[in-house]
Structure 1
Amino acid sequence: MIEVIYITRHAFRVNWVLNPQTGEYTASTRTPTGIPTDPPLAAHGVEQAKELASHLCQLVPQVDRVYSSPFYRCLQTLKPTTEQLFKEGRGGGKIRIDRGIGEFFGRASFTHPEPPTLTLLNPHFTSLDQDYQSIHIPASKGELIVELHQRVNRAISRIITELDNDPAQPKAVLICTHAATMIALGRVLTGDMPQDPDEDDFQCYTASLSKFVRKTKNVEDGNGIIGNWDCALNSDTSYLSGGAERGW
């Protein structure tokens, strides 16, 4: 059974601008996938990703499986880590892209841009799992905070169940996601859901690392999957030369 969940937020990215009247997104630089809400990392973020990789590749327990949001910045953040892990025969050899742990866009009257498909991502990243299918898809016109938590609950439940049933018996999984989603994951896993969604509880600094440890290993009929995790690290940045940046 899976015992440890590592969660990281993507590193420092390039910005975009939204016109809330028209719903038009504009990127401050050309994006690799041509989607304005899919910018790459800034130069500082590239360095953060390297520092993150040095830390992740030394974790105990080691990373056995890797999941990611479909956005370019998450996969670019993971690249130094997965290149080393996969070269050494660790980490499962493939990255599973799951839209259920993807970006949060607030509810709007317009349609938000879709994330890149595998077809768009494959020229930029190797070792993407071509067979894995996302099930939990965010609403095209965005979500309320409560809907984000519901989506994250369903997505992480699926991931944990998959890993619990994996014949290879992985012990630790690494997930790369976004600010609001990282906070929601912490709340769902621990069961610590505040009445005020703006409460300052789980942190989400760029390229930070949170760690959740399973409380009990005797799980039957789905019990103990959600709300059965202790937060051992809350957005740790001790390995980053720039420290904690861009808390959400």
Structure 2
Amino acid sequence: MPLDTIYLTRHGHRMNWTIDYSTGTYHSAFPTATGNPADPSLTAHGVRQSHELAAHVTSDKFAPKPWVTYSSPFYRCLQTIQPSIDGLNKLHEAEGKEHRGVRIENGLGEWFGASTYFEHPPPASPSQLRTYFPTIITAATEHQHKAHVIPSSNGETIPQLHNRVATALAAIISDVDSQIQAEEARTGNSSSKAILICSHAAPLIAMGRALTGNVPDDVNTEDFYVYTTGLSTFVRRQSNPAAGETVGERSLLAAGTKLVPENEVQVPDWKDGKGVGGGWDCVSNGDCSFLSGGEERGWHFNGEESFDTGPMTDGNEETAKL
């Protein structure tokens, strides 16, 4: 049985950073663990949200449990997902199963908009991040895992962001399907499998559209909700499993985007309802029922294709202006 459920969650409430658009210089309000001013950690409230998420995904009523976890390479996402990894590993240990970690996929990373005159700061390397998050799976630890998509350092337009995350998701789904098939052949056991992905607001909206294949005429439409540590669930369509796998044009990605391996990872034809990996239906959109603060810091595309971090306010919902 192939992968049939994908959970998407956004990182918890984070610290702030700003950017001087005249120079392209980023500034952090507080010191960052990785030294990257655009890579802040969670606030105390964000840490609380991460533990509430972990309690939810490890509860008896939550099924199927994530079999594999993927994350953006930015610190706040890994910090958000770590309690869930720890909780799931305790369950695995109790059941006599092997521990599982988190796989970094740069193609699920933050969106910085398009810039022609400066470069956006890259995330830390997997080896550096592993000093903070030892459950990170690297090429040296399991399945020779490497990120499939490395975004352009000059950022992307909104359409290029959508194609970037669609390409990353198609590669992830293909990998997981193959790994599930190999495990089932080895053990003889077949069961429903799910993955959990932690990312950022803009990429998560784009992921919802890539999975379903549905892109609104107005990209500013609030179709997928991305509250901090809210959880959306997508279930794989059972019909036409090969749909959406026709190779698209490499030029649909921002110049400078790297695909790994270059001759295998391709841009999928995912629009017009096709969706990546045969298409998925959203059965739960931005669920925050397990969070003590409920729905917080909502976000949607709004106008220009440049990135604006905006001030971190205390409101229950924030719309970031791009």
Q: How far apart, CA to CA, are the structure 2 residues paired with 1:238 and 1:135?
A: 33
The answer (yes or no) to whether the contact 2:231–2:288 under 8 Å persists in 1 is yes
Q: 1:145 aligns to what?
A: 158
Q: 1:115 aligns to what?
A: 123
Q: 2:103 aligns to what?
A: 96
Residue pairs, 1:28-39, within 5 angstroms:
28-39=29-40
Scaled by the length of structure 2, the TM-score of the pair is: 0.74
Identity of aligned residues (%): 45
Q: 1:136 aligns with which of 145, 149, 159?
A: 149
> Does 1:79 find its partner at 2:130?
no
Q: 1:168 aligns with which of 152, 172, 183?
A: 183
* Structure 2 CA distance for partners of 1:53 and 1:217, relative to 1, 3 Å: farther
Q: 1:42 aligns to what?
A: 43
From the CA coordinates, give the structure whose radius of gyration is larger. 2
Q: Which runs of 5+ in 1 are unaligned?
A: none
Give CA-to-partner distance per residue, 1:119-144, whole Å, 9 cap, x none. Answer: 22111111111112112111111100
Q: How many residues align?
A: 248
Q: 1:125 aligns to what?
A: 133
SS at match of 2:78: helix
SS at match of 1:4: strand
The alpha-carbon deviation at position 217 of structure 1 amounts to 6.3
SS at match of 1:165: helix
Give CA-to-partner distance per residue, 1:142-201, whole Å, 9 cap, x none. Answer: 100000001011000001111111122561000000000110000010111112211111
Which structure exhibits the higher relative contact order, with contacts defined as CA atoms closer than 8 Å and separated by 6 or more residues? 1
SS at match of 1:183: helix
| Structure 1 vs Structure 2 CA RMSD | 1.7
The answer (yes or no) to whether the contact 2:241–2:279 under 8 Å persists in 1 is no
Scaled by the length of structure 1, the TM-score of the pair is: 0.95
Higher mean C-alpha deviation, range 82-91 or range 62-71:
82-91
> Which contiguous aligned blocks of 4+ residues in structure 1 show a shift greater than 3 angstroms?
220-225
Q: How far apart, CA to CA, are the structure 2 residues paired with 1:217 and 1:57?
A: 30
The alpha-carbon deviation at position 219 of structure 1 amounts to 2.7
SS at match of 2:42: coil
Higher mean C-alpha deviation, range 136-145 or range 218-227:
218-227
Q: Letter of the aligned partner of 1:180 in structure 2? A: A
Give CA-to-partner distance per residue, 1:70-89, whole Å, 9 cap, x none. Answer: 00000100111101112332
Q: How far apart, CA to CA, are the structure 1 residues paired with 2:155 and 2:30?
A: 24
Q: How far apart, CA to CA, are the structure 2 residues paired with 1:88 and 1:239?
A: 20
